[in-house]
């Protein structure tokens, strides 16, 4: 998995590519823990994400809650079929802001 960051004022875009799963989710968690100071808009671009497992969902859920708690918003963009399938099965399509 690879995470590319693009920052513009209070906006942060994370391009997460590859597999978001048990072995890689901690890397995304680290970014969420350390890079969100002053950020009000977090965009997670998953265009190049192959799939997401429940370990990845956990991080996406925590990040969405964190952004909401500080009055900001996290949105998810360009989810492919495999990623959407997981969001739909788990009901995450209703609780994440999928664009």
78 near another protein, rule: CB under 8 A: no
Q: Residue 41 is encoded by which pair of tokens?
A: 């808009």
Between strands 41-45 and 73-77, the pairing is parallel
51 near another protein, rule: CB under 8 A: yes
CB-based contacts of 6, cutoff 8 Å, min separation 6: 12, 13, 15
Q: Which of 3, 13, 17, 21 binds another protein (CB under 8 A)?
A: 21
Residue with smaller CB distance to another protein, 14 or 52:
52
Residues 54-73 that bind another protein (CB under 8 A): 54-55, 57-58, 61-62, 64-65, 68
Catalog residues that contact another protein under the rule CB under 8 A. Answer: 19, 21-23, 50-55, 57-58, 61-62, 64-65, 68, 81-82, 85-86, 89-91, 94-95
């Amino acid at each position: 998995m690879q995470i590319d960051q693009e920052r513009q004022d209070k906006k942060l875009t994370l391009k997460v590519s590859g597999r978001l799963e048990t072995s890689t989710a901690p890397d995304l968690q680290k970014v969420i823990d350390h890079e969100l100071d002053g950020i009000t808009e977090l965009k997670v671009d998953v265009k190049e994400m192959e799939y997401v497992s429940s370990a990845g969902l956990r991080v996406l859920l925590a990040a969405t809650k964190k952004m909401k708690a500080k009055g900001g918003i996290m949105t998810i963009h360009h989810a492919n079929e495999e990623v959407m399938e997981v969001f739909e099965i788990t009901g995450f399509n209703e609780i994440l802001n999928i664009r």
